[in-house]
């Protein structure tokens, strides 16, 4: 697996330029432009149907954008998809696993695909970290929803990705799992990964994220740190993300 050049805080691990996705004539995402550097965690929030999942799917290469460009870890996703994806972990909201592979086999298979060649200890550590050690020989279809989510996360993190895209990562996790997941996200960011976290759990976003991207109807409503967003709306200064979100997304419960 080709490693990207070493990054400094000023570098960009995720770059989206004029990202647009049309479903027929319906614009799911329109002209999204933003960038994320090493160690940054971006909270992607928006009402239902705002285009969050479509954005993540475009960023991960699952679906191609209609217009615009995506670069991951310095590689253009359209022209160098394999190099770009080798630096990526995309963990969707609904864990999609192979029912006929065990927990351990999922990790071995993922390692092989990503050319990660982890030491046996690495797999053990990851299984311990995500409380899957006792389930290593269990088929994925026999796991609970939360365990499946943990396994999807373990597969995503196995190759030490520089770009991590998480869609509602805490769904189905127990309180201990949530705490560990939050710690894992923070640790990965501290080690230099760029993380995009899509969630409706605004306190989680507020707690973990250094930046917030609020989208509605596929367009950017606000982008920046909480302070930067509040600076553009002095009337919302000192309020939490929930108030910002409601005020900026034309919600019927908007703070006036």
Partner 1 sequence: MIDAAIYLVSRSLKNWLLVRLRKLTSPRYVTALLLGAGYLWFFLGLRHLSPGRSPAGIETANRVGALLLLLAVLRWWVFGADRTALAFSPAEIQFLFPAPVTRRQLILFKLLRAQVLLLVNVLVWTLLMRRSSSGSATVLHAFALWVLFSTLFLHRLGAALVRSEASERVRSRPRAFGAAVMGILIILIAALLGVQLSGVGLALPGGSSLELLRRGWDWLGTPAGHALLFPFRLLLAPVMATTLSTWAHAIGPAAGLLALHLIWVIRADRGFEEAAIEASQRRAELMERWRREGRPAIPQEGRVRLSLPLSPSGHPIPALVWKNLSKTVREDRPSMLFAAVVVLVVGAAIGAVGDGREGASSILFALGASWVVLLVFFGPQWIRNDLRADLTRLSVLRTFPVSGTTLMTGEVISSAVVLSLYQLMLLAVTAIGALGATRMGLTPGYVVRGLVVAAFVVPALNVVAMGIQNAGALLFPAWVRTDMRPGGVEALGQHLISGTLCLLLLVLAALPPAVIGYAIALLVYPSWGWAALIPATLLAVAALVLEAFLLLDWLGGRFDSLDLSELA
- Residues near partner 1 (CB under 8 A) are 1, 21, 23, 54, 57, 60-64, 81-86, 88, 90, 92, 96, 98-102, 105, 108-109, 111-118, 137-139, 141-143
For residues 111 and 220, which CB has a smaller minimum distance to partner 1 in the complex?
Answer: 111
Write down the least CB distance from residue 76 to partner 1, Å: 14
The span from the CA of 229 to the CA of 219, in Å, is 16
- Least distance (Å) from partner 1 to the CB of residue 192? 19
- The answer to whether 41 and 245 have CB atoms below 8 angstroms apart is no
Give whichever of 55 and 249 is closer to partner 1, judged by the CB atom.
Answer: 55
Q: How far is the CB of 152 from partner 1 (least distance, A)?
A: 9
Residue 159 CB, nearest approach to partner 1 (Å): 9
CB of 53 or CB of 199, closer to partner 1: 53
In the bound state with partner 1, the residue whose beta carbon lies nearer, of 82 and 183, is 82
- Residue 3 CB, shortest distance to partner 1, in Å, is 13
Q: By the 8 A CB rule, do 3 and 159 touch?
A: no
| Cβ-contact 159, 117 below 8 angstroms | no
Name which of 88 and 222 has its Cβ closer to partner 1: 88
Residue 241: closest CA among 216, 207, 194, 197: 207
Distances (CA, A) of 235 to 90, 147, 227, 232: 36, 43, 12, 9
| Close Cβ partners of 74 (under 8 Å, ≥ 6 residues apart) | 4, 5, 11, 13
Q: How many CB atoms are closer than 10 A to CB 250?
A: 11
């Amino acid at each position: 697996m080709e490693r990207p050049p070493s990054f400094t805080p000023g570098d960009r691990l995720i770059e989206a330029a004029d990202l647009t996705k049309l479903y027929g004539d319906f614009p799911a995402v329109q002209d999204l432009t933003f960038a994320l550097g090493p160690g940054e965690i971006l909270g992607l929030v928006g009402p239902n149907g705002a285009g969050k999942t479509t954005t993540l799917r475009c960023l991960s290469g699952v679906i191609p954008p209609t217009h615009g460009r995506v670069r991951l870890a310095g590689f253009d996703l359209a022209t160098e998809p394999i190099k770009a994806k080798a630096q990526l972990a995309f963990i969707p909201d609904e864990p999609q696993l192979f029912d006929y592979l065990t927990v351990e086999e999922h990790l071995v298979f993922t390692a092989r695909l990503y050319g990660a060649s982890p030491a046996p200890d690495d797999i053990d550590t990851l299984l311990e970290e995500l409380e899957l050690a006792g389930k290593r020989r269990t088929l994925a279809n026999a796991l609970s929803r939360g365990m499946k989510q943990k396994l999807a996360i373990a597969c995503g993190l196995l190759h030490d990705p520089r770009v991590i895209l998480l869609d509602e990562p805490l769904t189905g996790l127990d309180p201990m799992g949530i705490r560990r997941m939050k710690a894992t996200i923070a640790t990965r960011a501290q080690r230099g990964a760029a993380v995009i976290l899509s969630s409706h759990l605004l306190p989680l976003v507020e707690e973990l994220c250094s930046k917030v991207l609020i989208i509605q109807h596929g367009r950017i409503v606000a982008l920046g740190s909480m302070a930067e967003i509040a600076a553009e709306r002095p009337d919302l200064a000192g309020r939490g993300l929930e108030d910002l979100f409601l005020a900026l997304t034309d919600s019927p419960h908007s703070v006036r």
